[in-house]
Amino acid sequence: MDDIDRKLLKELLVDSKRSFRELAKSIGVSAATVINHVQRLESAGVITDYSVQLDHERLGYELTVITEITVSKGKLLEMEEEIAKIPNVCAVYDVTGLTDAMVIAKFKHRRSLSEFTKKLLAMPYIERTNTHVVLTTVKEDFRLLQGL
């Protein structure tokens, strides 16, 4: 990755709707250079998708939870893949420590959270869960601008 790639990625993280011409102007290169770099970053798998940043609370998803999961009999990857398919799930992490996985999910109401928890516990090989309800979100932004 070169300096143009880094500048371009920072600009795309701020606003990926901008045209190649606008991006080129902001980083001081030609539109053709931007197109070439974007295509190369896409081909290399650095850019995997383009998306919007949503305010989940304004959409009614007022509950964010972090659930620790303990899995038995070496079935961790299979369970994580099944959990990842659940629509409310935003992230699934295979972790070190006392639990095997961490799941971040969002819900509109307590009833949906309850159903989610019961669904997890009904899955084969899930021994136990420990769910933490987020009280205040200080920061939630997975766009890493630093380090580019």
43-100 pLDDT, tens per residue? 999 999 988 888 899 999 999 999 999 999 889 999 999 999 999 999 999 999 999 9
pLDDT at 143: 79
CATH 1.10.3470.10 fits 3-43, yes or no: no
Token pair, residue 148, equals: 């580019």
97-137 pLDDT, tens per residue? 999 999 999 999 999 999 999 999 999 999 999 999 999 99
For 103, counting Cβ atoms within 10 Å of its Cβ (0-12 exposed, 13-18 middle, 19+ buried), the class is buried
Residue 30 identity (one-letter amino acid): S
Domain ranges of the chain: 3-43, 63-133
Cα atoms in the Cβ-side hemisphere of radius 13 Å centred on 53:
10
Instruction: Name the CATH topology of 63-133.
Output: Alpha-Beta Plaits (3.30.70)
pLDDT at 147: 63
Strand positions, DSSP E, the chain: 63-71, 89-94, 101-107, 126-133
